[in-house]
A and B are shown apart, each in its own frame.
Chain A
């Protein structure tokens, strides 16, 4: 807690002092997935410092993008075949972010023009997603791209226009980062953009890592690195649990 206060304090100092550019930090930049993991709520603090932004002269906006690890992802579409609904078409995205969240002080369209967001790749519509057609890379079918966004949004993995960045006082802002229980493990990138007059005046980039820890990590690694012995272990556990249940059940 003391450390967190120091962070806030130093950020406040940064806001008034003559330190470098924009500074951001997370309340926790290493998320550990353990047995009781049910998602995580993080706080991101940031300070505009003494950048080109003149916070006194003009209002400024903050846009924060949190991007999870990119993994090969497949989106499938069901179709009717011989009277039943089966997965018929699919589209493979070689690299789609497992988590993607955009938070801003105001609705994006009020902050800057779509072209400005496109040039920085901010917003789901501006993610440079490509599809693997088997013979080469191509622009994905918009239906599949939309489905990816819709499905991951419903799982809480893609969040856009949902979270707001609050300006605490002139140079200091904060937002909440929501990671759901099914968050993918890996390195996350947190990028903060300061907009003023419709263009980016400053940006900062920090990382966040999400990983399974302790027992959870050990079990996962064991299952994936020694699958045969994991299987044997599972059988031994089942046999002894079953035997124990039989002994206890008789009483």
Chain B
């Protein structure tokens, strides 16, 4: 059944769209990730213009994060103060990310930027995750238990030396506000240029750099994703008019169903196994994007309507 999408200006099969949402929802439910890093490339491969894919996916991630964030909120799993600082950084990052996005789009280089960002960030995060989970699996087989790191040693010396210290009661932290601000900013930029929530950068950064306790990490990450992707949606709407609400709602519909099934599947697997699988999936997307850049394309030329480029 074809459905004409008025913003994307193309006709797509409604079941294909819902199906893509369901597949990505299944994987994100299984691994407990947002899935933006899977959905945006999938939309691009399906023929949606990259700019529309990125902007629309921001809108879908807002919706997909709400129910998760609410669940964590009820369990007291959100550090609102930390979230607020991250959001301030994220707002600035998202604003500049959207400006860069608009500028590169008018130059015809936005596809390149999206691909490069995916290769660099998914490559490094996927690589680290794979190494970490493979090590955990090997250690478990050998029965090795790593010595716990004392709480006082979580931060490196340079982190303690930073000014503008703030107290985050829920995270039991007294650290410089510059740290969460800059992490928020980086994630905001990624949200705007990659069409992701940025959880794959935010969660490791919260654990390894900020040293937040794990019970507030996911809730706080989802909490800030709602706000940052909302802002990103508005920035892209204003700059390039590339947010397709219909596409977002259809994807969400599929994703909600898929996530329910995926979450049940995820319970059957061990945490290390899940992380190793997720890492492989992240690396697969990275390789796919990388090959697109490295292999000579069949068609060297492309055509675009200047009016569709925003003209800024």
Contact = CB atoms under 8 A, between A and B. Distances in A.
Interface string B286-311: 00000001111101111111110100
Nearest to B246: A219
A233 B245 contact: yes
Given A245-B67, A245-B252, A249-B260, A151 B60 contact: no
Interface in B253-290: 256, 259-260
A181 interface: yes
A246 interface: yes
Q: Is the interface of B mostly helix, strand, loop or mixed?
A: helix
B11 interface: yes
Interface string B1-35: 11110110111000000000000000000000000
A227 B237 contact: yes
B293 A74 contact: no
Nearest to A232: B234
Contact of B59 (A150, A235, A248): A235
B65 to A, nearest CB: 7
Nearest to A233: B245
A243 B64 CA distance: 9
B2 A181 contact: yes
B108 A90 contact: yes
B233 interface: yes
Given A34-B4, A219-B7, A238 B59 contact: yes
A241 B63 contact: yes
Contact of A248 (B11, B256, B300): B256
Contacts of B306: 71-74, 92
A242 interface: yes
A87 B112 contact: yes
A85 B71 contact: no
A182 B256 contact: no
A238 B7 contact: no
Given A72-B305, A231-B233, A238-B233, A223 B63 contact: no
Contacts of A237: 59, 63, 245, 248-249
Contacts of A90: 108
Q: Of A34, A78, A92, A224, which is in contact with the most chain B CB atoms at under 10 Å from its CB?
A: A78
Given A38-B11, A239-B66, A87 B305 contact: no
Interface in B218-232: 226, 230
Nearest to A241: B63
A86 interface: yes
A228 B293 CA distance: 34
Contact of A228 (B111, B237, B249): B237
A2 interface: no
Contact of A212 (B6, B238, B297, B302): B6
A120 interface: no
Residue from the set B6, B112, B252, B302 with the largest chain A CB neighbour count within 10 Å: B6
A74 B108 contact: yes
B11 A184 contact: no
A37 B11 contact: yes
A152 interface: yes
Contact of B233 (A150, A234, A245): A234
Contacts of A73: 303-306
A181 B11 contact: yes
Contact of B303 (A75, A230, A247): A75
Interface of B: 1-4, 6-7, 9-11, 59-60, 62-68, 70-71, 108-109, 111-112, 226, 230, 233-239, 241, 243, 245-246, 248-249, 252, 256, 259-260, 293-297, 299-307, 309
